[in-house]
A and B are shown apart, each in its own frame.
Chain A
Amino acid sequence: MTEKAQKTKNKSLVLRLLGVVLGMFLFGFALVPLYDVFCEITGINGKTRGQAIYQKTEINKTREITISFITNTNRGMPWDFKPLTNVMKVHPGEMNEVRFYAKNRSQEAVVGQSVPSVSPGEAALYLNKTECFCFDQQLLAGGEAIEMPMKFYIDADIPEDISHLTLSYQLYNVTEAAVTVAAQ
């Protein structure tokens, strides 16, 4: 093969391989939304859905589901945050309310965002919240305390083998981000 032909052959292969490199770099970034898609399809992430609307269905009084509530605050979050009810026994299809207490222990105003998580992961799909403080950011002035309600119902068709759910809220300090958005 002539040197020119060799160089042309090499160049075309190099370009194709560089295409693979670029493709895999983009794939790395594509993994970010793909991760969410995978979790949504399989429902195994423990992420709850957004605001639900109450479907009036038959309340299944024969089944009792135990639901526990736990809370966590992130480092840098100077709030007290706890559920006012730790454990509830509910029936699928029945509307329930639980209240959470939050107090800003610091002197300045702080904005908090709660992120829910459900265990076991599969149960997340069956927990429907119609009203939740986690849908919005909460602003508390220095020293202010509030009670926040959360209204939910559990789907009537929750699988038989789930009898206990734990709903966890992690509270994050988003004051900086909220201020930036407000200023824009």
Chain B
Amino acid sequence: MIPLLQASQFPGRHSVLEPAGAQAALIKDGLWDPMFVTASVTFALVVAALLWALLRRRVGGETLEDPARQRRLGLTVSLATAVTTIVLFVFLVVDSTVGRATTATPGHSALQIRVTGHQWWWEVQYRDSLAQHWVTTANEIHIPVGRPVVVELRSTDVIHSFWPPNLSAKRDLIPGHENSLWLEADSSGEYRGQCAEYCGHQHAKMAFLVVAEPSDSFAGWLAGQRDTAATPADSLTRRGQEVFLGSACPMCHAVAGTPAGSRVGPDLTHLGSRRTLAAGTLPNTRGNLAGWIVNPQAIKPGAKMPPNALSPDDLQALLAYLETLR
């Protein structure tokens, strides 16, 4: 039941027009709505003027050389130009105001999250003054509702762009440059985001999920993420851990509390608690996980994870182990 429920929720809300945060709301209410109305009205006026000019009844005695008529026409054109200029100027002022509001620096209470773009997944890190409290996860960003969050954006390979449309505008992740943006969720929920800058073969499947939750459950989640992975309790999961450590997995993935510590691919310490797999591509179910491990290239052709020819028993044990990583 629970996986089904999750599947139906997946992939979360994903729209500019349903703002769930201050920035997105400012852009939608402060810019898009007035712009849409103004543009529609102007469009209607211009098309109406065009149709009138095309279809108006011509009187027999009109002459082109009538200077009064020329003057009137010139005046109309000048007036239209003046109105255009004034509308644009008003728009410029509104735009600057909204721009200042969306980028105003948040207070000291802001939560800092570091997001690093990789081909084609997102590394998410919650830093702390104590290094052992650092939390590293992937493709899923938990934030507390009602608290500003500063997202530091970096890239290790090519340019990506971080964009959760319900919460905030986008910002590029450029190798060698440090960018950041801030956002704040008004209500709890799951908001989908996707890479917006063309970044290679799997640009299409490089999504993430922002999970906004009340601050106490966020604190609980963060505390849970700080734990190292659970020790396997039964023989199946023990076997699964052996498979994990004995196969290609630890060459790229880390599981805290085990010898696996590579940072090439996503950190799997709490894989079982995540809602999606493969950067927001698949709901996190056992079947999807199995398919992903065995042949990722069928799901995301070009992804950096190679196929893994595991025997059925090994695969089942591995899946059982990975599901304990909650």
Do A and B make up one complex? no
